[in-house]
Chain A
Amino acid sequence: MKSFPGLERLVPDYIKTFEAYIPSKPDDELKKLYGCSRLYRLNNNENPLGPPRTARRALEAFDSAGASVYPSGDCYHLRHKLADIFGMAPDQFLVGNGANEVIAFAIKAFCRHGDNIITADKTFAVYEWVAQFSGFEARLVPLVDYGFDAEGMLEKIDERSRIVFVCNPNNPTGSWWDARTLCSFLDRVDGRCVVVVDEAYREFVEDPDFPDSMSLIASYPNLVVFRTFSKMYGLAGLRIGYLAGSSEVVDIIRRTCVVYSVNTMAQVGAFWALDDREHVARTRESVRAGKRFLLKELDLMGLDFVHGEGNFVMTRLPMSDSLAYRKLMTHGVMVRAMTGFRFPNWIRISVSHLEALESFAAALAKILGERKRF
């Protein structure tokens, strides 16, 4: 066989030192590995109610012959619908293959060698990952009282800072900035860099003090808002999310956007999902009930917990979170071990339907009980 020089010499240093994310195996494989007959997924903050009825009907009616035709390259109809809903122009929206893709679009659009992005140390990891494997510095600001530290982030901004990522509400703590805090932050950033507000869990929030970020776009041309159809709208399996901003900022980001990355089914599902007015209310009620149950159970077990807005709760265990994950898996319950979020010994539980939460609570109580006896 012809021998070639090693590939290693072609690889940038920031890729050599970056470790690939290994997603969990499919459910059937996990059930085999952990010896459980059913598996409740409480790890990805999915909506147990599934997609809105309007989206289900549209997906069921989808003509499979349409699969041979390329999708709308720029999600034309969906952007127009979003524009109608938010009172903005269609070119102020950019749709991606999940919000993860639009994170990459934004970073590619604004960062060059030597630049940095700023975010929190204990938040959604993808901002940090995309920056690092693209060769940019990720400056991480510790949370204060489980919330984003506006002052700390402002202190980190320098002339090479390009984007500040604020996860609002924060995954995994559920903390959030109110309208006053966000506006004050945007004022003090004063256009020096782009401010991305990731609102993946925005639709779960009922507090009127939560900022109406879409309306702030008119006042802050450097503000970019991320939303997703994966959480509230139950379309995680189709991968679709979007960003919104001033026409100027979206036009710049669009230059790095890969067209045709959002498939037709996802566009159809998202388009019709927005029509179901009752879905959001039903989901919020389900989350309220689930949280009530979960918090009561955690309290009975004597565990500390952190929760805010969003369909998740984080609790601190008197043991390794990764061991708790494995033990819970043997009971058919999958949670998120939080060491990867820099919360060692914490787990995050998605607020799912009651049956799943009851199974989780029973399994965790058993595991903690065995530990005490041991």
Chain B
Amino acid sequence: MKPETGNLLLSVEADEAYLRVVTAFVENAAFCFGLGEFEALRLTLAAEEVFMHLCRKATHSGSPLQIGCSNGGYFAQAVFRLPADSFDWKAFNVTASISLDDESELDSMGLVIASRSVDRFLLGREKGGELKLTLIKEKSYPPPPQVEPAVAVPLSKTVLRPVAPEELKFISRLAVSCYDAGALSDILLYPGKLSDMIAAGEYACLAAVGESGEIGGAIFWRRLGENMVECFGPYLFNQSSTSGMAEELLEGCIGAVARSGAAGVVNIGPPPGFPAAQFELLGTFDSYGPEGSSTSVEAWFRMLSEDTGATVWVHPELDAFIRREFAKLVLPREIRVDRPSGETLPRHSVLSAEFDRPRGRVMLRPMWPGGDAAENIARHVKLMKSENIPNIHFALDLGEAWQSIFLPGLLGAGFEPRFVLPYAGKGDVVFFQYGGKRQ
């Protein structure tokens, strides 16, 4: 059953007198949405720091302020809507540090604490010009228990159907029994989290099921932003690669999202036996293990609709790559070559960093432009290297003209563009890898 996905809203004034109301609101919402005590308190701490900073520095005292809390099933989030000039967002860089000797930096201490207290944050500009800061804290899930391998039998006749909640853990066991962990999406390694994600509607799943309910294969997918669906699989459990089951699962997934409004489906690092004929190869990147080993990971894509064309903003130094990729993918694009021309920028840029520590990966994304874009990228690379994260990726959205400010810094730091993900952001997104084959 889909859990209650509450959306709670608190309207207060930016006044420290409301602090206890704000913290009680966020804490109780987090508990109500199923976060454990530690996670709920971390989200509360982050909200407290943001609110206090707003009261002290950012808004006129007594300005109206709305804070929303919502339940994502496997996470809870707190959303602040803020005036555009409320913060120097520098503190939201994972690289930010505070000098205790510099009083002006101490003001940002709360924001540094806030950004470190949550698993993810999103910073976006709303249509009315205000900013939306989303603080996200996930539930904690136990590591997968050691279980007996599950066994599947070859099936001669199957139908596709959604998976019942009680079948998910068994599918997870089947997957772990039939595939190397490296070939599996992380979601299959944490069955409890997978159940919550599916119950929350974040992920969907189809299984190929025999006449007596035997499960022969499965495919998973999730919405990735407004325009993209990411699919995982298809995974076959002891079924012949010529059974046609992989094709049926993939077609079932595509059929399920065909009228969802998403522009395309992407599958990054599909398992062996992936029916590639239905997709287009975007490109590859190298995945480095902690011991220095390297494997090539393929990124596959297909559009769900007829491409009606789009406009992209491209820095001149990326122009040749972009034109080559668009020609390869036959994507109709109006390319606007654009470089910064001395316009005034905020002092500090912000990058978000989404970590996948078990796999030694981080994905960096521009959140805010700034005059220190190149230095900020270099700081992030230095930090990731110091933390022994060998796979540093960067996603540059060609639909956001302001992001081209990051391009010189990216190339200068040693990133190289690997492929274009059509419509993966506001526009097409270029996937960069730090070092790549030269690393």
Binding site for B on A (CB under 8 A): 3-4, 6, 18-20, 22-25, 29-30, 33-34, 121, 125, 128-129, 318-320, 322-323, 325-327, 329-330, 336-337, 339-342, 344-345
Contact = CB atoms under 8 A, between A and B. Distances in A.
Interface of B: 126, 128, 130, 251, 254-255, 258-262, 264, 277-280, 302-309, 330-334
B260 A337 contact: no
B427 to A, nearest CB: 15
B308 A344 contact: no
B279 A326 contact: no
Contacts of A34: 332
Contacts of B251: 344-345
Nearest to B81: A6
A344 B254 contact: yes
Contact of A344 (B258, B307, B330, B332): B258
A19 B261 contact: yes
B435 to A, nearest CB: 30
Contact of A320 (B259, B262, B303, B334): B303
17 contacts: A3-B130, A6-B128, A25-B309, A33-B333, A128-B259, A322-B303, A322-B307, A323-B303, A329-B332, A337-B305, A339-B304, A339-B305, A340-B258, A340-B259, A341-B258, A342-B255, A342-B259
A19 B331 CA distance: 22
Contacts of B304: 322, 339-340
A173 B273 CA distance: 30
A345 B279 CA distance: 10
Contacts of A340: 258-259, 304-305
B43 to A, nearest CB: 22
B307 A325 contact: yes
B82 to A, nearest CB: 12
B330 A323 contact: yes
Nearest to B334: A33
Contact of B302 (A3, A19, A322): A322
B305 A326 contact: no
Contacts of A30: 309, 332
A336 B306 CA distance: 8
Contacts of A22: 305, 308
Contacts of A128: 259
B309 A339 contact: no
A25 B307 CA distance: 10
A282 B259 CA distance: 36
B41 to A, nearest CB: 29
A319 B255 contact: no
A25 B306 contact: no
Nearest to A125: B259
Given A30-B309, A323-B280, A339-B258, 12 more contacts: A6-B126, A19-B262, A22-B305, A22-B308, A30-B332, A33-B309, A33-B334, A121-B255, A320-B302, A320-B303, A326-B303, A339-B305
Contacts of A344: 251, 254-255, 258, 278
A30 B307 CA distance: 10
A341 B254 CA distance: 11
A3 B83 CA distance: 11
Contacts of B277: 318-319, 345
B192 to A, nearest CB: 27
B330 A29 contact: no
A341 B306 CA distance: 12
Nearest to A21: B261
Given A29-B309, A318-B277, A344-B278, A326 B331 contact: yes
A320 B278 contact: yes
B258 A24 contact: no
Given A33-B334, A319-B277, A330-B330, A325 B302 contact: no
